[in-house]
Amino acid sequence: MKKYIFILLLFVFLGGNTGVAEEDKLNQAVVRGIVERFTSLHYAQEPLNDELSKRIFQIYLDSLDSGHYYFLESDVKEFRARESSLDDMLRRGDVTWAMDVFTRFLTRLSQRQAMLESFLEDEFDFEKDGQWRIDRKDEPYPKNEDEAKETWRLKIKFDLLTLKLAGNTDQEAKDRLLKRIRSVWKDYSQYTDDDVVALYLNALTRAYDPHSTYMAAEDLRNFDISIKLSLDGIGAVLRWEDGYTVVNSIIPGGAAARHGKLAVDDRIIAVAQGTEPFESVIDMRLNDVVELIRGQRGTTVRLQVMRKNENGFDTLNFAIVRDKIILKDGEAKAEIFEPTASTEESPSAYRIGVIELPSFYVDFNDRRQNPNNYKSSSRDVRAHLEQFKRDGVDGVILDLRNNGGGGLDEAITMAGLFVGRKPIVIVRQASGARITVHRSREEAIYEGPLLVMLNRFSASASEILAGAMHDYQRAILVGDRTTFGKGTVQNIVQLPEGYGALKVTIAQFYRVSGWSTQNRGVETDMILPSINNARDLGESTLENALPWKAISPISYTPVGNIRRYINELQQYSHDRLSKDTDFKEIEENVQEFLTNVKPLEYTSILKMQEDAAKRKEERDEEMASARKTMENTTQEESEEETSSNEDTTIRSDAYLLESMAILEDYIRLQQRVEVKN
């Protein structure tokens, strides 16, 4: 890879782009080639041996029956005869063991469905107590059908109670539970041989690390959509329901929205390409229906739908011309929050620009075809920052909460917008054979006060950006105690057309300080109360995660001096949080989790009902208090609040409000130092 290519998602072709004939899908020769390719590329360079075989064995079984509901003890004993030989079989491309296990799983699934249907004919006594283990991954498999029957009877009783406590009647709860298990059966019964092989190949990749995966052709298309935030289609979100593909929502600005006739809850019963005959899609898998509806922009797809009316259903035909759909929900959003009324404690207030970034997206195809005009997160953030400068903001907040990453080069480019042309991240290839320092080639366009919001779900590219901001002392990091801890780089190795792709971990990245984010994440400067700090989350909790390592730092010079202000900022924040009702409630929820939820291994019938009654009583009290408050609120105040909410594009919450207060404290402290100087 040339030095100037800073791409996380590389495309390496195995062979040509020849289409795959139906009879030549994931056959033995293809599987053998995929296994060889994956093991040769993976960062760990770990040979496929008996130890990995045992990991693959358990991962594959858990992918089908993680709660040990379906297989019997005798099934697993039979399967275990091959536990140490799966590595040899995979090297040959032999997947017969996986196919046999899946066939047995379908048999057990069918038996459990029959059990459920017979149980639902009975009435359950919810006054009689019973215990249910919450996490069943370490529970023994049922010894025989009688034991399986008792396990399922208790499971159904708890499932029904959960639905009843959520407000369903007895019959509604039974109907929903029956619908749920039938949906599971329908989904698995429609698996093709290729679907099973894909599941098995993913057991192989996950035995090496949690982020490597085999992506079937449909998965690859969906991944491409998620990284570039666009697709060619009609612009409708679909769901599967009782054998029908149902319109869940219409994407604003898409082809279906402009067409104006397709409606939410329409049932799509047939699809046709252009002038070709309709093909029934009733009982067809959702992914297959989506494939029929998607297509090249400018082409026509015809839909036959059923729409409910007062007397039953109307059957309607629509012809919609496919177009490019931009997924706006995943784009960077920006808003300027105006200053609030000044107080004696806060004699000045500031205009704060907030950018909410859900992912580091980029349209690779558009970038290759038109490098001066393409869709990407860094270009969008640049535009927002330039607008902020024109509008005269006093500080900027970059919200990376729940941002799971994306393009490595996007993180590098974006970091440059704040620190300029400097080293941003170090990438270490397998076995340390090559270490590359990646620099930003961007001029800094915003040099003012900066705060980055993070949580436990900020991962990968988010951690690269946050780590650079911390090492260069460019931004205050605020949020959960640490980020997710994903410090590895994956490449997309595209297989010949029709076979999908491999996402393979090929490198580990390090901050310029030499510190790895792997497992440990990026620690924040200002920790806010959060249930995430108490939960077992992040890379370190994932099976087969690669270990943490550090390397020697490179030469770099901080551009700011954030650390001199941290102690004072922490004290100001602590004083505010001690009086803030929202954060007091968060602290109470954390304590409740630590005391009553996290240690809980079992739940019981009676306890669930007691807890539900207690929660209902608390909600009733809250509602009564809210109604009283509403009665004392004038109509004029209500109208002003509604108008204000309508203008807001970024939802304000306790964490954002506190982050703005921290940034304002920082601006004031900087101004105080400047005055002294």
652 and 596: one domain? Answer: yes
246 shares its domain with 134: no
Strands of 450-454's sheet in order across: 333-337, 352-356, 395-399, 450-454, 476-479, 526-527
Together in a domain, 194 and 50: yes
Distance, first Cα to last Cα, the chain? 49
Q: Are residues 562 and 593 in the same domain?
A: yes
- Rounded to an integer, what distance in angstroms lies between the CA atom of residue 676 and that of residue 39? 61
Whether 661 contacts 576, CB under 8 Å: yes
Both 109 and 255 in one domain: the answer is no
Residue that the structure tokens 């693959």 belong to: 56
| Contact predicate 500/438, CB 8 Å | no
Residue 431 is predicted with a pLDDT of 66
Q: What is the pLDDT of residues 578-628, one digit of tens each?
A: 999 999 999 999 998 888 778 777 777 777 677 767 666 666 665 565 455
285 φψ region: left (φ > 0), alpha (ψ -120 to 50), beta (else): beta
Residues 314, 338: one domain? Answer: no
Residue 205: the pLDDT is 97
CA distance 152 to 154: 5
C-alpha to C-alpha distance for 78 and 76, rounded to whole angstroms: 5
Angle between helices 605-631 and 145-165 (to 10 degrees): 10
Residue 607 domain flag: no
Range of the domain at 296: 230-326
- The answer to whether residue 122 is catalytic is no
Strand partners, 249: 237
The pair of structure tokens assigned to 665 is: 């404290």
Helix axis angle, 408-419 to 461-471, nearest 10°: 30
CA gap 203, 651 in Å, rounded: 39
pLDDT of residue 283: 82
Task: Say which DSSP state 494 is in.
Answer: E
Which DSSP category does 592 fall into? H
**How far is the C-alpha of 403 from the C-alpha of 378, rounded, in Å?**
14
CATH number at residue 528: 3.90.226.10
Q: Which residues contact 492 (CB under 8 A, 6 or more apart)?
A: 9, 10, 11, 12, 220, 223, 501, 502, 503
Is 137 one of the catalytic residues?
no
Length of the chain: 677
Contact 79, 72 (CB under 8 A): no
Sign, Cα dihedral of 204, 208, 211, 214: negative
Give me the helices (H) in 294-406, please: 364-369, 377-391
Identify whether 23 is part of a domain: no
Last residue of a domain, one of 303, 326, 349: 326
> What pLDDT does 623 receive?
55
Helix residue ranges per DSSP H, 214-277: 217-228, 255-259
Q: What is the CATH number of the domain that holds 299?
A: 2.30.42.10
The residue out of 326, 356, 375 marking a domain boundary is 326
Residues 6+ apart with CB under 8 A from 660: 337, 352, 354, 397
Nearest to 66 by CA among 208, 205, 203: 203
Question: Is 608 among the domain residues?
Answer: no
How many angstroms separate the CA atoms of 176 and 334, rounded? 41
546, 668: one domain: yes
Domain end marker among 326, 360, 379:
326
Distance of alpha carbon 37 from the chain centroid: 27
Answer yes or no: do 150 and 246 share one domain: no
Residue 304 has φ and ψ, to the nearest 5°, of -110, 120
Residue 17 lies in a domain: no
Check if the beta carbon of residue 413 is closer than 8 Å to that of residue 378: yes
Question: Does 99 reside within a domain?
Answer: yes
Q: Which of 458, 486, 513, 665 is catalytic?
A: 486
Q: What is the mean pLDDT of each run of 10 residues along the chain (677 residues)?
A: 32 34 73 96 94 97 94 97 97 97 96 88 82 86 94 88 84 87 87 95 97 90 77 85 86 87 92 92 86 91 89 88 83 90 55 96 86 91 97 97 94 98 94 85 96 97 98 98 96 88 95 95 97 94 93 95 96 96 93 83 74 67 52 38 45 94 96 72
Residues 517 and 645 in one domain: yes
Measured over the CA atoms of residue 6, residue 9, residue 15 and residue 17, the dihedral's sign is: negative
User: For residue 667, is it within any domain?
Assistant: yes
- State how far the Cα of 492 lies from the Cα of 419, in Å rounded to an integer: 29
Is residue 486 annotated as a catalytic residue, yes or no? yes
Assigned domain for 481 exists: yes
Q: Are residues 427 and 284 in the same domain?
A: no
Check 230, 377, 460, 659 and give the catalytic one: 460
Do 478 and 441 have their domain in common? Answer: yes
Residue of 65, 471, 580, 665 with catalytic role: 471
| Separation of alpha carbons 466 and 451, rounded Å | 10
Looking at the structure, tell me whether residues 581 and 474 fall in a common domain.
yes
The reported pLDDT for the residue numbered 625 is 53
Residue 498 within a domain: no
Give the C-alpha separation, 478 to 587, whole Å.
17
Joined tokens for residue 283:
């009982």
Into how many domains does the chain fold? 3
Neighbours of 663 (CB within 10 A): 24
Look at residue 373 in the predicted model and tell me its pLDDT: 86
Per-residue model confidence (pLDDT) at position 10:
27
Q: Which amino acid is at 413?
A: T
